[in-house]
């Protein structure tokens, strides 16, 4: 939960993150507004459903130049589709890792880090 994330940061003595526990399409305008005046690089973590991100979400994120994007995916095909959009807008893949969260099945999670 959002409260647990904030509490964990407090316990570790870290600055509390801004947490928007809602659908990306709903939270994104506020997130981008909050980041518009921030000169530091921010990190946005996306964990979309199997269908991937909405095109408008990818366009809005791709237009930002102060974001590091962590994209978590359970579907390689939609991840590839969405990465094509983001890399065409100037982001580059910095790191990729896969996690076998469901042993003895064909399902796994991918996490990629994109930087401008």
How far apart CA 102 and CA 2 sit, in angstroms, is: 25
Active-site residue flag, 53: no
How far CA 3 is from CA of 13, 23, 35, 70, in Å, comes to 15, 17, 21, 20
Compute the half-sphere exposure of residue 15: CA atoms within 13 Å on the CB side of its CA: 3
> Of 60, 74, 111, 115, which residue is the catalytic one?
74
Active centre residues (catalytic): 74
């Amino acid at each position: 939960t959002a409260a647990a994330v904030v509490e964990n940061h407090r316990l570790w003595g870290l600055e509390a993150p801004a947490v928007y526990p809602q659908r990306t399409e709903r939270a994104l305008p506020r997130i981008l507004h909050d980041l518009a005046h921030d000169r530091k690089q921010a990190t946005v973590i996306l964990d979309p459903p199997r269908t991937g991100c909405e095109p408008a979400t990818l366009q809005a994120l791709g237009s930002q130049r102060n974001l590091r994007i962590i994209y978590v995916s359970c579907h390689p095909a939609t991840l590839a589709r969405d990465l094509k959009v983001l890399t065409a807008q100037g982001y580059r893949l910095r790191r990729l890792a896969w996690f076998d969260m469901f042993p003895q099945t064909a399902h796994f999670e991918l996490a990629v880090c994109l930087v401008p």
